[in-house]
Structure 1
Amino acid sequence: MEQLIPIISEVGFPIVVTLYLLYRIESKLDMVVTSIQNLPDRMKERV
């Protein structure tokens, strides 16, 4: 148990940062997917 605590302290922060960044990127990727799905309709409007 004593060996586990330092590992969690060393690895815990990078895991939290990674999960936070993945959460932020996911919302931006949803916006990109929506834009790509709307692109054909927007292209038809221009013609």
Structure 2
Amino acid sequence: MNTGYSFTEARVILEIGFLEQCIANQLVENLDIDRSYMSGIIAKLSKDG
């Protein structure tokens, strides 16, 4: 789906939408993603707005 985001990045966006309060630790646990990788994804998404 030509969104410019990888599957994992899109999954993070969806998870953020599903959670009432979202913190990075929840995303790391829910998606079983390395913390440093999650940090990079969040930085990219923040930059993209």
TM-score (norm 1): 0.33
Task: Please say which structure displays the higher CA radius of gyration.
Answer: 1
Higher relative contact order (CA 8 A, sep 6+): 2
Which structure has more helix as a fraction of its residues?
Answer: 1
TM-score (norm 2): 0.32
